[in-house]
C-alpha cells in the first residue's frame, strides 16, 4: 500500500493541474502524458495511476470550491484534506492571475462545434452512486465569493444555446420516430415564461406532454448542476412528465443525458440557499 502524499508532493501536482486548467480554459491543447512524465520525475515513487487518481481528487476538490476543473479528469471525492489546503494556498498566491480565467470560463460562449450529430448526441446518465459525494467538513474557506460553476450555468447566452440545441434535438427525436405532427407542437416555453419551472414543452411518442428542463455546461458529464425551488417543486408535482436534460461538453462536441422524474429520485441534493422570515 502506497504512503499518503506529502504536502510537498501535493503542492507540486496542484500547481501542475492549475497550469493545465488555465491552458484548457484558454483553448490551448494539453499534453497530459508530458505533464505526467515531468511529475513522475519530481515525485519519484508515484505511479501513473496514482498521479491520475490525484488529478481526479483535485477535480473533486475544485467542484467543492465552486471552480471549474479539467474535463478529462473525472472527479473522485475520496481525497486527503491537504488537497484543499494546497489548492487554497495556490489560489491565494496567484489569485489575480487566476480570476480572469475563471471569469472567462463562466461568462464566455465560444460555439466551436459545427454539426449536432444527433444520432450520437444521447449518452447514458451517471449512476446515482457515482454522483460526487463530498467529504464532510465543518468549515472551509472559499477562495472567491463567486461560485463559478453556478455562474456558468447562469450564463444566459450559454443557456439559450443549450435550450436551442435540445429544442432541435426534440424535433429530430420525434421526426425520426415518424411523429412529424408531434414535432410541430414543440414549444420553447422559457422564451416567454421564465418562471414556468421548465424550459421546453415537448411530446412523448404517445402524444403526452414532456416537460423538459435544460441544464448546460462546457464542462464534462460529472459537473454538478443547480436548480431553483420553483424547478424542484414543479418536478415533484409533474414527476411522471418531467425530464432533466443535461447538455455537457458544449464548446467541443456536445453530448446529453437525461433523467425522468423529480430531483429527489435521480440526484443527491445539497441545500445552498435559505430564506428567513418573521
Q: How does pLDDT run across 5-16, given as a tens digit for each residue?
A: 999 999 999 999
pLDDT number for residue 200: 98
pLDDT number for residue 127: 79
Q: How far apart are CA 253 and CA 24, in angstroms?
A: 15
Instruction: For residue 186, count other CB atoms closer than 10 A to its CB.
Output: 20
pLDDT number for residue 131: 44
Q: How far apart are CA 79 and CA 214, in angstroms?
A: 31
pLDDT number for residue 2: 65
| Domain spans, the chain | 7-107, 150-266
Flag residues of the chain having pLDDT under 50.
1, 130-135, 138
Instruction: State the chain's mean pLDDT as an integer.
Output: 90
Q: How far apart are CA 106 and CA 153, in angstroms?
A: 8
List, in sequence order, every residue forming a beta bridge with 211; answer none if it has no partner.
201, 242
pLDDT number for residue 1: 47
pLDDT number for residue 130: 47
List, in sequence order, every residue forming a beta bridge with 215; answer none if it has no partner.
246
Q: In this predicted model, what pLDDT tens digit does every residue of 142-167 receive, in sequence order?
A: 788 899 999 999 999 999 999 999 99
The whole model's pTM is what? 0.91
pLDDT number for residue 134: 47
pLDDT number for residue 239: 97
Amino acid at each position: 500500500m502506497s504512503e499518503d502524499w506529502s504536502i510537498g508532493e501535493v503542492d507540486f501536482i496542484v500547481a501542475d493541474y492549475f497550469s493545465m486548467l488555465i491552458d484548457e480554459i484558454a483553448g490551448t491543447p494539453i499534453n497530459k502524458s508530458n505533464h505526467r512524465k515531468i511529475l513522475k520525475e519530481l515525485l519519484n515513487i508515484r505511479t501513473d495511476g496514482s498521479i491520475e487518481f490525484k488529478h481526479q481528487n483535485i477535480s473533486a476538490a475544485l467542484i467543492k470550491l465552486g471552480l471549474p476543473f479539467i474535463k478529462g479528469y473525472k472527479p473522485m471525492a475520496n481525497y486527503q484534506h491537504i488537497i484543499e489546503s494546497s489548492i487554497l494556498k495556490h489560489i491565494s498566491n496567484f489569485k489575480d492571475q487566476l480570476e480572469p480565467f475563471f471569469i472567462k470560463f463562466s461568462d464566455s460562449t465560444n460555439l466551436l462545434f459545427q454539426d449536432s450529430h444527433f444520432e450520437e448526441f444521447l449518452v447514458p446518465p451517471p449512476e446515482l452512486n457515482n454522483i460526487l459525494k463530498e467529504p464532510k467538513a465543518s468549515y472551509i474557506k472559499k477562495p472567491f465569493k463567486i461560485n463559478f460553476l453556478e455562474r456558468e450555468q447562469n450564463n444566459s447566452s450559454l443557456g439559450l444555446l443549450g435550450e436551442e440545441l435540445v429544442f432541435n434535438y426534440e424535433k429530430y427525436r420525434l421526426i425520426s420516430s415518424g411523429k412529424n405532427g408531434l414535432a410541430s407542437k414543440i414549444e420553447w416555453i422559457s422564451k416567454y415564461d421564465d418562471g414556468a419551472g421548465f424550459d421546453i414543452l415537448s411530446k412523448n411518442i404517445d402524444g403526452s406532454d414532456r416537460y423538459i428542463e435544460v441544464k448546460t455546461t462546457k464542462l464534462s458529464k460529472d459537473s454538478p448542476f443547480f436548480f431553483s425551488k420553483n424547478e424542484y417543486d414543479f418536478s415533484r408535482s409533474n414527476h411522471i412528465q418531467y425530464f432533466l436534460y443535461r447538455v455537457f461538453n458544449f464548446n467541443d462536441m456536445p453530448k446529453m443525458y437525461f433523467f425522468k422524474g423529480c430531483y429527489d429520485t435521480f440526484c443527491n441534493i445539497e441545500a445552498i440557499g435559505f430564506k428567513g422570515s418573521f
